[in-house]
Structure 1
């Protein structure tokens, strides 16, 4: 067996299961799950219709590169959304089976294993970044995202030697779990660093379409490149998904886009990896990327939930609205694991301890005394969860 498998830590939800193993929640209260970021809003009907109408394509082997219609649909969406010009769907776009699969595979393709290889990522982080780095034969380096830095990674803490050894930098904007948006000026500075030290930036932008101000969508890495005149997006790729944007996590449909030279080699890897998206999923994805009305409606539902929940928790819990995304990242009045256990055992609510989403770096775990709350349930459930939380806080 690959010895690097022994370096992998339990996934956060397995840790949560162990945390609750001796607890019995109240039977008179229905369970409300705020622990997992699985969208619960209805999937668009027209996407399901496109899926059903293309089941006859199951008799064909799909292309790893994806059908031209899908790549052109994605390129068109990127150009409209991020004000890009001339993005080439043929060479600068590649479909993936959800960004989780794509992010992990990408590290295996671009990292040269060795004792000096570093993969940098935010802290807290999506655990795939760590596992991908370890199994690619690199050492993960975690960059703390603290409140005093607006929950953005403290890139000033990275040494010149670490930048020089860096082969891959994972970004996540809007952040999971903090919701912080990386400003375009900082993205531009990171592009310059990537070109100076010759590392690749993989920007996970899966939450980019859940924001609160319709006139100010979060900027993206390719947008930062374009404003610098870097239309070849050298050393830069972005990952997007239909899971959060379109409430289609089960479709397992996303894409990677950017540097054509990097994507050509990644396509070679994927050809051997055997991960072509099913043809009916590709057809349904075209329908989703071509429509924006359902995404605007989706944002409206989240906006309503955030307003109601934060109003209920106001003055009771140290929490504020994020810049984007569908998570709250509140401070807890007691250790985060104790808070999660009390919520489960007394109110039948699950939240995820923040320390499970982070690692100790520079002497601290930035998830300590915080929990992640995913406002993915229906409005009335989210409000009820907040009310139950207030009752618990009164007892604490």
Structure 2
């Protein structure tokens, strides 16, 4: 067996199931699950219709590179969304469809890491656990950057020692952040682009939450957008990861893309031809329909805003609760240990949230996820309102 498998940590939801084991939640309250970031808004009809219309495509093998129409539509979307001139994004060499960002974020590390060189993969802490697993199974060592309230829940890149940058082969960014919703700005991107050039590492920017944000006039900055503004018009050392799961409420479609540096993507494409991960043709056709439409995305954003408004309005009188700039998560500070909070909330109110320490690793400064829980506002509005009221009642019992 691959010896690196021994270094993998249990997945957060495995730990959560163990935490709840043996507890009988109140039978007079329906269960409300706010622990998993799985959108519950209906998948738009235009996606479903395109999928059904092209089911005959199941009779053909898809290509790893995907349909030219899909790559062209993705390139057009990147240009419009991130204000990049269309001619700078070549659908032939700078865009690859992937079966959701999860498989791509994992496989990308397997393709680009050289394990013979004491490789480090730098990542935020807390983090999406795929980053860590990808680094470990690629033969690299994770290096964690704590995201705390003192740094507005963003990594302190200025505090990274030079010897870490010297060994860094890959930097995972997550903006808007999971679980905090914090957004990395242009100036930080500029700084990271300079570091990547100086120390010869790649930047993998997980941007699957960029289309869920608070202010319609201030969409989150993207890495390719910053690269273009910095004069890096070939997006050297930059790859972004995008998905329809959150943007279009289609997590089961397993559709996304990677885009950026053509030289990197040429090697990654070679890896993917062996990986056997081509996107089914009906999925590609449904994806084309999704990337072409923004109306359902705007509606989606508005629904999340309404849930944030209601949820925060109910809880703000009894606890400190901050509204993130983007994503659909509340990163809530807890007055007791996060695991105890989650366990008791489930036992008393039949509401499931995820302990923040399950998303983090211990460091010299402690575990940055401790005394926080991640609350995913993915349930319908009425359930989110009900959950907020139950959490409020639970907090009263703690006080």
Contact 1:177 1:327 in 2 (8 A): yes
Q: Does residue 225 in structure 1 map to residue 227 in structure 2?
A: yes
- Given candidates 149, 168, 171, the residue that maps to 2:170 is 168
Partner of 1:64: 64
- Number of equivalenced pairs: 396
1:262-301 to 2 correspondences below 5 Å? 262-301=264-303
Contact 1:335 1:369 in 2 (8 A): yes
Alpha-carbon displacement from aligned partner over 1:231-254 (angstroms, at most 9, x marks no partner) = 100000000000000000000000
Deviation at 1:115, TM superposition (A): 5.8
CA distance in 2, matches of 1:177, 1:247: 18
Alpha-carbon displacement from aligned partner over 1:300-331 (angstroms, at most 9, x marks no partner) = 00000000000000121221100100000010
Structure 2, unmatched stretches of 5+, are none
Q: Does residue 17 in structure 1 map to residue 22 in structure 2?
A: no
Partner of 2:3: 3
SS at match of 2:145: strand
CA distance in 1, matches of 2:57, 2:367: 49
CA distance in 1, matches of 2:364, 2:151: 15
Partner of 2:310: 308
Partner of 1:36: 36
- Given candidates 184, 187, 190, the residue that maps to 2:189 is 187
Partner of 2:243: 241
- Given candidates 137, 140, 157, the residue that maps to 1:138 is 140
Alpha-carbon displacement from aligned partner over 1:184-213 (angstroms, at most 9, x marks no partner) = 110111011111111000000000000011
CA distance in 1, matches of 2:363, 2:83: 37
Deviation at 1:57, TM superposition (A): 1.1
Alpha-carbon displacement from aligned partner over 1:274-322 (angstroms, at most 9, x marks no partner) = 0000000000000000000000000000000000000000121221100
1:196-215 to 2 correspondences below 5 Å? 196-215=198-217
Deviation at 1:361, TM superposition (A): 1.9
CA distance in 2, matches of 1:126, 1:184: 22
- Given candidates 85, 92, 105, the residue that maps to 2:94 is 92
CA distance in 2, matches of 1:193, 1:223: 17
Consecutive aligned runs of 4 or more in structure 1 exceeding 6 Å deviation: none
SS at match of 2:332: coil
Partner of 2:83: 83
1:99-110 to 2 correspondences below 5 Å? 99-110=101-112
SS at match of 1:206: coil
Deviation at 1:6, TM superposition (A): 0.6
Partner of 1:377: 379
CA distance in 1, matches of 2:389, 2:166: 50
Partner of 1:216: 218
CA distance in 2, matches of 1:56, 1:18: 43
CA distance in 1, matches of 2:118, 2:127: 22
SS at match of 1:88: coil
SS at match of 1:161: helix
Structure 1, unmatched stretches of 5+, are none
CA distance in 1, matches of 2:231, 2:247: 28
| TM-score with structure 2 setting the length | 0.99
Q: CA RMSD in A?
A: 0.7
Contact 1:115 1:139 in 2 (8 A): no
